[in-house]
Amino acid sequence: MDHPQLTVEDFAGKPFDFLVVGGGTAGLAVAARLSERLGLTIGVLEAGLPATGNSAVDFPGLAGHALGSDLDWKFRTVAQPGLGGREAPWARGKVVGGSSALNYMTWNRASRTDYDEWRELGNHGWGWDDLLSKSETFHAASADNEKVATLVSHDGLVGDNGPVQIAYPNEFSPSHRFWHGTLNAVGVETNDAHLAGSNVGVWTSLVSVDPRSATRSYAATAYYQPSATRPNLIVLTGAEVREILLVQDGVSGQWTAKGVRFLHGGAEFSAFASREVILSAGSVQSPQILELSGVGGSAVLFAAGIPVKVDNPNVGENLQDHLTTSLIFEVDPSLPTPDDLNIKEAFAAAEDEYAKARMGPLTTVPVSMAYVPLTKVAPPESLEGIVSSISSPTNAELPSAERDAIFRRKYTSTSSHSIGHVEYVFDLGNWGPDFVPDPSGKKYGSMLQILQYPFSRGSIHIKPSHASQSLVDGLAIDPQYFGGENGHLDLEVALHGHRFAEKICSAEPLRSIIRAQVSPTPEEARDEGSLREWLKRVMVTDWHPVGTCAMGGRAGAKAGVVDERLRVYGVKGLRVVDASVMPLQISAHLQATVYAIAEKAADMILEDAGL
């Protein structure tokens, strides 16, 4: 995807106005928007390569197949005591398009309150009404699909002229026709306006798929490819950025970002920007690159042997992630499931159907979703126990106290009944982390429960031994699952979330396709102690980390890494634009919000530059 005949020497020698570190979801979006000003020259450095023509990326029905491949950084957490000492895999996109090339394409929004809380912290311009639908073009479903799958048109709630194509899948899982009726039967109402400010209820999700070609629509195809012919937008792939080059004013002491140092083909190069460096390496690597550049907590930097330029201990802290477990059932063996694609003959037939009609299992993605408040998931006495167990901060004067108080309100406020604490997704196929295709021909279905507002708070920091290691091995990712001050309460929420998942799967009409519970076993499910151990054993990430370079709001650099304009505290000419700037986790899949952050950032960058 590099420009024809472009050499790394050409890139390093080119005078750029803006350099974007990371050609992923946010990075390509902000770069493409800036390049619309043809008088500006934009350079993008991406460690991965293009995935052009890769079916594991393009075919919606193969979502997840690229995880663990060369398109994935293949990060792992440090051992998690809360998970029995397990190291959990953390997939991140190492590819042009970033994690938007690897995700499951879900397109949704959080509830209004989630975004308004960012603004409440003092981050002006970051409420629900400030984030517009500039990134999307919605394609309405056919009349036949609307009847079959309980679809709505979202009139006035979605964009109609953005780069990312969003739609309902061309074909739905056979289980989807049971979804709405089953949730209604357990007291969860259908929400026909889940994009309007409250996502609580059951609904059919949109996905980032172009229905005309039945292919994934992601940052590379949506933002970069339509802009690739612009001479002022240059993307260099295979470039691992190791440092933001900072220059200090000898009089004022002010640090200014002037460029980056990067590796390409084993050799070291530098590139320079006259206006700004924009860090869009994601919640995992944006804090890593800041620390490698001397911006971070002094204790971390001293231990790593890096001179401290800007002492900010908030870099890499405040890590929040969605936690997921999968309840597995054996289902009606006559049902087609995604697991069938592991069979050579079935995959060949699916490819043929896809090629001829853009239909079949290669167009199917999970869209059976529900967001449910904890007040409905947990019995009143259990909910009261969770709320009463939430520890208050030991020091109300801490800079993060306001952020923590707003988070606690998600569980203690009278309005907590109107937000979705637990997401439920049902999909045919076995989503268990240790699943091996069953040679006996048994078919499976999975009920995912995903905790949306985790108590667990973790961190991402470079290791003291980073200099002798790769970017992956030199990083300590510690989400502290079920750990920290209130992290044990995540296990309590997960326990009640699991019981509600059992209730859903015991209700008709979904119950009609279920034959037996597989994981946890009936014995594990009956005993609360065994069920807790099962939850620890199977809990995995939902790949939604946020918060590691958070907006500081009123507290400024005492509680954050960037201001409301996404400028890094203490450094001129340096911004962070990705999910790491989110101060609090949201109840939604992230990609639509990350695109919105990038769109807003591009406008701010141009405005601040007087352009």
Is the separation of the CB atoms in 324 and 541 below 8 Å?
A: yes
Provide the pairing of β-strand 89-90 with 75-76: antiparallel
Which tokens is 327 given? Answer: 């309840």
Cα torsion angle, 479, 485, 489, 491, sign: positive
Q: Are strands 267-279 and 574-576 parallel, antiparallel or unpaired?
A: parallel
Measured from the Cβ of residue 240, the count of other Cβ atoms closer than 10 Å reads: 16
**What dihedral angle (degrees, nearest 10) is formed by the CA atoms of 119, 121, 124, 127?**
-10
DSSP state of 568: B
Q: What are phi and psi of 57, to 5 degrees?
A: -95, -45
Separation of alpha carbons 609 and 611, rounded Å: 5
Based on the residue annotation, tell me whether 264 is a catalytic residue of this protein: no
Work out the widest C-alpha separation in the chain, in whole angstroms.
76
65 given a catalytic annotation: no
Residue from 176, 264, 322, 544 carrying the catalytic annotation: 544
User: Residue 208 and residue 217: Cα distance in Å, rounded?
Assistant: 5
- For residues 172 and 364, the answer to whether their CB atoms sit within 8 Å is yes
Percentages helix, strand, coil for the chain, rounded to the nearest 5? Answer: 35, 25, 40
Residue partners of 522: CB distance under 8 A and separation at least 6: none
**DSSP state string for 310-329:** EE-TTTT--BB--EEEEEEE
**In this structure, what token pair is assigned to residue 279?**
């860090």
Cis geometry, peptide bond prior to residue 333 (ω within 30 degrees of 0): no
Q: How far apart are CA 163 and CA 4, in angstroms?
A: 24
Contact 216, 57 (CB under 8 A): yes
The answer to whether 23 touches 224, Cβ cutoff 8 Å, is: yes
24 is written with which tokens? Answer: 């992923």
- Answer left, alpha or beta for residue 384, where phi above 0 means left and psi between -120 and 50 means alpha: alpha
> What is the Cα 442 distance to its own chain's centre?
32
Residue from 430, 527, 532 nearest 482 by CA: 532
Question: Which residues contribute to the annotated binding site for FAD?
Answer: 95, 241, 543-544
Q: Do 323 and 43 meet the contact criterion of CB atoms below 8 Å apart?
A: no
Helix/strand/coil for 137: strand
Q: Give the catalytic positions in this structure.
A: 544, 589
